[in-house]
Structure 1
Amino acid sequence: MASETNFIDLIYESAFIPTNWEHVLDQMAQAVNGHGTALFNVSTAATRSIASASLEDLSTKMLKEGWATRNTRAQRLLSIEQHGFINEADYFSDEDYETHPIFTEVMKPLGYGFGTSTFISAPCGDKIIFAVEKKKSKGPVDTASIAYLDRLRPHLARAAMMSSRLEFERINAAVEALHLTGLPSAVLGFNGRVLASNRLLENFIPQIVIAAHDQLRFAHAPANDLLSVAIARFQLADGATFSRSFPLPQLDDAPPAVVHLVQVSGNARDIFTSAAFFLVVTPIDRTKVPDTETIQGLFDLSPAEARVARRLAAGSNVAATATQLSISDETVRSHVKSILSKSGMQRQADFIAAIASIRPMGG
């Protein structure tokens, strides 16, 4: 077991090296005869957490059975005015342990009793919970353990706040990098709130605006629906890779464009950011449609399908495409059906917008 001074150093290192948080959580539990420690960020509907490997049984049950959204224990802890770690046995009775579903269906069957926890409110609005879990067979949390954890608490709070700030700066830097490439972009949170945006996005006003409560809104109403659906699906993705694109029609001086939602990548164990995905807007210039070979390679199309796709992306309709390629309207429609199947898109308009948003090689 590391000395308290060395442990505090490890806590601050975790602000810069997120994977170190797992070691911090393990050592917190070992120091107070606990079974493991969990760290939750409960600031959004999509609760983020990391935990000691020893808590895998508890973490798995909480996740698979959806207890994160109906955790009355966490709700009680957040309602307690506290400035340090609390002994949960002081706030939950034996009757609670025998009647509350979170205990009777989750904690008790796995052998867990009352532990000790604290929550920290960061200036950015994050609410962070550190919870040291203890097996019931090991007895209650003692006062010496609480005192030890209270000495660590200011350092845990500062490191958590540093992690949050550093992650936010990383996201801001990414948005500015997209600005340098000429791409209007923003970073959205788990609830769709705009956390950061670059100046190029202002060129799309009133086609795209940041409205009340920092919510992104499109003048094209169907795009708002598509964004809402995408956010909802992202929240249910449970860590799976996520991306989505949809078109925006021309409005006044703003050109037609494709909106791309791309999941924010980073350390899988980093919970100190509310950033969920990048929103990147690619203006469409139909005079610069990529060549047939590029389209064919990107979507694994046949040469004939790629020729049809390129004509449609350049603005031709089915009849004009059929005339230009000396084939029938039905053949064009058959190719379109195959193109949509291979690309995984539902509508011809979405595929055309995606094609038109691709910048030609060397363009």
Structure 2
Amino acid sequence: MEGGVHLYDDRVLLDLYAAAESEARWTPMLDALCSALSVRSAVVQVVQEAAQASWETWTVRDTLSTAHAARHDSYLNQPDSPRYQLPPGYVPGIEISSDQRSFGSQSRLIDDLRRRMAHADLGIGLWASFPIGGDRTFTLLLHRHPGDMRDLSEAEEGDLARLLPHLQQAVRLSARIGALQARADTLAAASSHVQAGLLLCGADLSIDWRNAAAVQVLAQTSLIAQVAGKLRCARPCDSERLRGAAHAVATGAARVGRVVLVGDDGATLHLRIAPTGDTVGASPAGTETAPLSILLSLPDSPTQFDVEDLAALFDLSPAEARLTSALAGGASITEYALARGIATGTARVQLNRVLSKTGTQRQADLVRIVHGSAARRSLAPR
């Protein structure tokens, strides 16, 4: 860390801010930092603080440190290391310091650290750290080259002080992006249980996201497909209609767009296009910037009903739930009885019990409430 350190070298700062989005960018940033600061190693870590000790919960190292991680950990990242022995009442805060400053007045501790660093083939440790909430501290830990036990100079401390705000901002961005990604992952996982096909698209029909049901719809129909990342209809005239409906919704000219596609064989696909938010003032007149949600439905697809769901939702026996699923799917009592190998009279007895349990008087009423229940599966499973 001799004079002329270029902390604002593009390699360092670009990788630092890229690391907020991708953890893999931390290592290139730390490699560049080692070169810029002329140090042996650079590590970033999150440490959980406790009353009498602390421990790492997350660590990323430069390339050299990664190659020697086991060796470094065996000597320096142990519970009995002086760095992890906190004095009673210690409250971590923003800090630029070193092993020499922290332990130099305690010969036993500094001697212990020097011995450990010699075994690890590292020089003295220097760091910049700050709290990130939840009794956790983020630390950039640097080690000089082996045998170099010089303390921080005034110039070096200034270098770390200038780098510190960038570290803090990168960590804040990383936490925010991580929280948003976790939320997106949760919503994506939850959407896999939603049976309606749902796409999130740009106004140009470029697909940003789709749930499992949408994937299934696109696989089942030849009327529309994803081509080069965009929705395209099999017929050019249908593509034109779809683009027109999307444009109208994206620009606020229409609240909702509805498109029906019909194939030569009579197969039908319904699309419902809606903005994902308020389009008023969202884009200049005539532009297409508002993101859209598109619901896909194959009305001709067989509707199925989960038997276990029906049993749990309506307190039915397995046999009663199977009958209810079949009737709601369009089968008659006679067809169900024949398929199950039971007498039609037995099936009618089961139906009467189902009507009683569901509080309905007629088979039509039963079918209606089942279609509105959470047991409904709009798409047949593959």
Q: TM tier, shorter chain?
A: 0.3 to 0.5
Relative to the length of structure 1, the TM-score reads 0.44
Q: Point out which structure has higher relative CO (alpha carbons under 8 A, 6+ apart).
A: 1
Q: Say which structure is richer in helix.
A: 1
CA radius of gyration, larger in: 2
